[in-house]
Amino acid sequence: MTSNIVEIDNISFGYKGRLLHKNINMVFPRGKVVAIMGGSGSGKTTLLRLIGGQIKPTNGQVRVNGKVVHEQNRKGIYQLRRTMGMLFQHGALFTDLSVFDNVAFPMRELTDLPEPMIRDLVLMKLNAVGLRGAHQLMPTELSGGMARRVALARAVALDPNIIMYDEPFAGLDPISMGVICDLIRSLNDALGATSIIVSHDVKETFLIADYVYFVANGEVAAEGTPHDLMLSTLPFVHQFVHGEKDGPVPFHYPAENYQSELLKQSALMKI
Partner 1 sequence: MKSILFNRLTKLLTGIGRRMIERIWRLGAGARLFFLTIVYSGESFKRFHLTLREVYFTGVMSLLIIIVSAFFVGMVLGLQGYNTLQKYGSSEAIGVLVALSLVRELGPVVTALLFAGRAGTAITAEIGLMKTTEQLSAMEMMAVNPIARVVAPRFWAGVISMPVLAALFSMVGVLGGYIVAVPLIGVDDGAFWSQMQANVDVREDIINGVIKSVVFGVACTMIALFEGFDAPPTAEGVSHATTRTVVISSLTVLGLDFVLTSFMITV
* Nearest residue (CB) to partner 1, 25 versus 89: 89
Q: Select the residue interacting with partner 1 from 65, 89, 217, 232 (CB under 8 A).
A: 89
CA-wise closest residue to 226 among 198, 205, 242, 244: 205
Residues 177, 210: Cα–Cα separation, whole Å: 18
The secondary structure of 111-175 as a DSSP string is: ----HHHHHHHHHHHHHHTT-GGGTTS-GGGS-HHHHHHHHHHHHTTT--SEEEEESTTTT--HH
Report in angstroms how near the CB of residue 229 gets to partner 1 at its nearest: 29
Overall size of the chain counted in residues: 271
Helices 144-155 and 99-110, interaxial angle, to 10°?
Answer: 20
Report in angstroms how near the CB of residue 85 gets to partner 1 at its nearest: 8
Other Cβ atoms closer than 10 A to 41: 8
Report in angstroms how near the CB of residue 256 gets to partner 1 at its nearest: 25
* Nearest residue (CB) to partner 1, 106 versus 224: 106
Q: Select the residue interacting with partner 1 from 12, 65, 72, 92 (CB under 8 A).
A: 92
Report in angstroms how near the CB of residue 158 gets to partner 1 at its nearest: 8
Report in angstroms how near the CB of residue 235 gets to partner 1 at its nearest: 34
* Nearest residue (CB) to partner 1, 84 versus 229: 84
Show the binding pattern over residues 66-85: x = contacts partner 1 (CB under 8 A), - = does not: -----------xxx-xx-x-
Report in angstroms how near the CB of residue 16 gets to partner 1 at its nearest: 15
Strand partners, 67: 64
Q: Kindly identify the residues of this chain, within the stretch 199-258, that bind partner 1 according to CB under 8 A.
A: none
105 binds partner 1 (CB under 8 A): yes
CA-wise closest residue to 218 among 75, 36, 43: 43
Residues 170, 181: Cα–Cα separation, whole Å: 12
Report in angstroms how near the CB of residue 94 gets to partner 1 at its nearest: 6
Q: Select the residue interacting with partner 1 from 11, 86, 183, 216 (CB under 8 A).
A: 86
* Nearest residue (CB) to partner 1, 78 versus 227: 78
Q: Kindly identify the residues of this chain, within the stretch 135-164, that bind partner 1 according to CB under 8 A.
A: none
Under the rule (CB under 8 A), what is the footprint of partner 1? 52, 54, 77-79, 81-82, 84, 86, 88-90, 92-96, 105-106, 109-110
